[in-house]
Structures are given as structure tokens and as C-alpha cells.
């Protein structure tokens, strides 16, 4: 599953529509693979400005001479932490293409709004993951394709999941 945790000042991502739009765009990245849409989890974690510090300076906060040199501290800072479990990036070419897709997807939600932002991606072991108590079927298996069609976890015979 892809898990996106978005840490952001409470002054950003304030509307349900904006959060839903970003979550839908993130989900599109993965359903194109195709992964089941329900694999994609996007969590918005709003934080008070006094809980987000970059270089020891609260973000956003009034920009003062004490904050110099450094980025404009009045600009909100957004942090994305992304975990991949269902799939991993198999090589540098796929990695670079995927990161470019992330940049393009996030641009209207952060860069175009003038926010400072960063993300990191980690890939974790698939064998330590279960959905609804089930070991997920292997990529491209008949059972996974059924999960894609049904958009939910369904019990399956191990052979159908290539397990």
C-alpha cells in the first residue's frame, strides 16, 4: 500500500475539497499501475505553526532578522512522508520517472501556492503487511486483479494470488 502522511500547518489544506482533490490525484498515480484504489492511504496531519520547525525556526512565523539567513519563515512548510509496501521501484529509470510524477502531481497543491515543501519515500518489506488480516496477493495475479475490480480485500486461494 502507498501511505502518504502530509504534515502541514493548520492554515493550509483547510477545505475538504482541497484535501479530497489531492487525495484523488495521489490515488490516480497508483491506480494507473494498476493497484487497487483502497491500497492508497492519504493522511492529513494539521499542526500548529509552533509545532513545525525548519532550521530551528517555526514555520510559518513572522520573518525577523534573527531568522536570517534562511528561507522566508512566514511561508508555510509542508512535509510529505511516503511509504511503499505493495510495490517497490525496481530501477533508477522507474524511480526518476516516479519522482517526476510526484513533483508534477504536488505542484498545484504546494509549489504553485508558494509553500516550501519536501518529501521522502521509503520502501518497506511486503511480507510484514496484511489487509483485513489477509496477505495481499502478488502483483499482477488473478486475485490482485479481482481486488482492483472490487476495490476491496477479498479472500482468495493462495494459487490465485501467486502465493
- Listing DSSP states for 117-153 in one string gives EEEEEEE--GGG--BTTBPPPPTT-HHHHHHHHHTS-
| Mean predicted confidence (pLDDT) in 118-141 | 96
Residue 119 has pLDDT above 90, yes or no: yes
Q: Is the pLDDT of residue 65 over 90?
A: no
Per DSSP, the residues of 10-33 read TTSS-SHHHHHHHHHHHHHHHHTT
3-state secondary structure of 83: strand
Extents of the domains making up the chain = 2-129, 131-163
Q: Do the Cβ atoms of 158 and 137 come closer than 8 Å?
A: no
pLDDT at 66: 82
Provide the phi-psi class of 55: left if phi over 0, else alpha when psi is between -120 and 50, else beta. Answer: left
What residues contact 127, with CB distance under 8 A and at least 6 apart?
none
Domain 2-129 in CATH: superfamily? Macrophage Migration Inhibitory Factor (3.30.429.10)
pLDDT surpasses 90 at 71:
no
Locate 34 and state its grid cell: 494498476
Can you read off the three cell numbers belonging to residue 138? 502478488
How high is the pLDDT of residue 97?
Answer: 97
- 102 alpha carbon, distance to own chain's centre: 9
Amino acid at each position: 500500500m502507498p501511505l502518504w502522511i502530509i504534515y502541514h500547518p493548520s492554515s493550509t489544506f483547510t477545505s475538504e475539497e482541497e484535501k479530497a482533490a489531492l487525495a484523488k490525484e495521489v490515488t490516480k498515480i497508483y491506480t494507473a499501475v494498476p493497484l487497487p484504489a483502497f491500497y492508497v492511504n492519504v493522511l492529513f496531519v494539521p499542526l500548529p505553526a509552533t509545532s513545525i520547525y525548519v532550521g530551528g525556526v517555526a514555520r510559518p512565523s513572522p520573518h525577523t532578522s534573527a531568522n536570517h539567513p534562511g528561507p522566508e519563515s512566514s511561508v508555510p512548510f509542508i512535509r510529505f512522508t511516503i511509504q511503499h509496501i505493495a510495490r517497490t521501484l525496481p530501477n533508477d529509470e522507474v524511480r526518476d520517472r516516479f519522482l517526476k510524477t510526484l513533483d508534477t502531481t504536488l505542484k498545484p497543491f504546494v509549489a504553485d501556492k508558494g509553500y516550501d515543501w519536501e518529501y521522502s519515500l521509503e520502501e518497506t518489506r511486503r511480507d510484514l503487511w496484511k489487509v483485513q488480516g489477509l496477505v495481499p496477493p502478488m502483483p499482477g495475479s488473478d486475485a490482485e486483479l479481482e481486488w482492483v475490480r472490487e476495490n476491496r480485500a477479498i479472500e482468495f486461494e493462495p494459487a490465485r494470488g501467486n502465493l
